[in-house]
Amino acid sequence: MKEKKGFGLRNIAGQMVVVAQSAENINFGKVIAMNNSSAYLWEALEGKEFDAQTMADLLTQKYAVEAEKALADSQKLIEAWKNAGIIE
Amino acid sequence: MSRKKTIFATIYHLCFIITILILETLLYCVAGHTLEISLQDPQITEEWIPSFSPFKITNGVKDLFSLTILAGEEPSEEEGSFVTDFNVDGMLFQVYRRPNNGYRYKISNPKAPESWCDLLSNEDFSEGTAIMRGENQLKHYSLNNFLMLMYGFSSATKETLLFHSSVIEKDGKGYLFLGKSGTGKSTHSRLWLENIPNTSLLNDDNPVIRVIDGKAFVYGSPWSGKTPCYKNRMVEIGGIVRLKQYPANIIEKQTGVKAYAALLPSISNMIWDKRVSHGISDTISSLATICQVYQLQCLPNAEAAELSYNTLTK
């Protein structure tokens, strides 16, 4: 997986969100809300090829979370990001 | 040449220069921002922009932009690199990035693509040149839109937004109705006017919003869509309602990111340009925090107007 080009993280009304920032995504009308850990992952994964394991490793490095739980959460997050249309 | 003649010649030239300046450079103050329009296409006069006359000023210092309007004889050669295109009101807008990092906005009618009008701006839209070609209808449409583009994008970093909405004034407060084209913004305004006493229309299409010292204000503007309502006045914002057609009337408060997302589609943006998009995004973010924002799913009836009125003013 990879983050689609032309999306960026912004702080909106006190909340981290991913918004479209390039002409190719001009019709992307959505604003994707991120909690702290998903915003951290989004930033850390910028420009990189990743899978659920890459994400889980990043999570266990930063948070006190078990590897198994981190992997399950990462798989869910990948699905959510896919549905939102911000990764490919 | 004798000294006397030289003096006369100098005076003559000075008068000539002053006359040109007075005749051709017009100053306007829209929502407290001053802009300058220089008419150098002999065909295009002040009468072409009648909606600006309530905003005309005689003295002032430009703080937003100056736009020079020229008659275009030949197609401009400078194309720049293509960024994007989109259709509005059946007209084609094409956007190019110029070699100097400024923008070129080209407006044409897809049914008559042989002539078009160009807006050539610098990077922050503080300086622009409009090159007018084609039929009067195209020129009128383009001029109006060039002025909106210049206004919206030069003010993007000044906590100012050109906001696509219809605004009702009631008891010194402004209430804004937003929604996709054809949703019924003007209809909802009309329903307020018909059913709620002491209401008036402030603007029906593109008022200006400003955040000043933590407060949000709405201003009348020279752009009001099909309704000629060009009021040079301002009020504090009482509330903002995003409308959606629905078989019943339901109102729901939006906060935080949801409020932001409700406002976002109502502002012309250039998401690929960081200066503009971050400026606009920061202002919408402030608005979403300062103002009460609602989503109203509604029918075009009196009950809808009463529901939004009662909710916003309770």
Residues 262-291 of B with CB under 8 A from A: 264-265, 271-272, 274, 277-278, 281, 284-285, 288-289
What domain range is B56 assigned to? 3-154
Q: Which of B154, B171, B190 is the last residue of a domain?
A: B154
Q: Which of B137, B154, B171 is the last residue of a domain?
A: B154
pLDDT tens digit sequence for B7-60: 566 666 655 555 454 457 899 999 999 999 999 888 888 899 999 999 999 999
Q: Please check whether residues B118 and B100 belong to one and the same domain.
A: yes
pLDDT tens digit sequence for B254-304: 999 999 999 999 998 999 899 999 999 999 999 999 999 999 999 999 999
pTM value is: 0.87
Check residue B181 and give its pLDDT.
Answer: 86
Determine the longest span between alpha carbons in chain A, in angstroms. Answer: 40
Q: Which of B132, B154, B176 is the last residue of a domain?
A: B154
Residues across chain A? 88
Q: Please check whether residues B200 and B255 belong to one and the same domain.
A: yes
Residues 85-114 of B with CB under 8 A from A: 86, 95
Q: Please check whether residues B284 and B149 belong to one and the same domain.
A: no
Check residue B77 and give its pLDDT.
Answer: 62
Q: Please check whether residues B22 and B150 belong to one and the same domain.
A: yes
Report the domain count for chain B: 2
Q: Please check whether residues B142 and B256 belong to one and the same domain.
A: no
Q: Please check whether residues B268 and B295 belong to one and the same domain.
A: yes
**Element housing A39 (H / E):** helix A36-44
Q: Please check whether residues B192 and B235 belong to one and the same domain.
A: yes
Determine contact, residues A19/B269, Cβ cutoff 8 Å: no
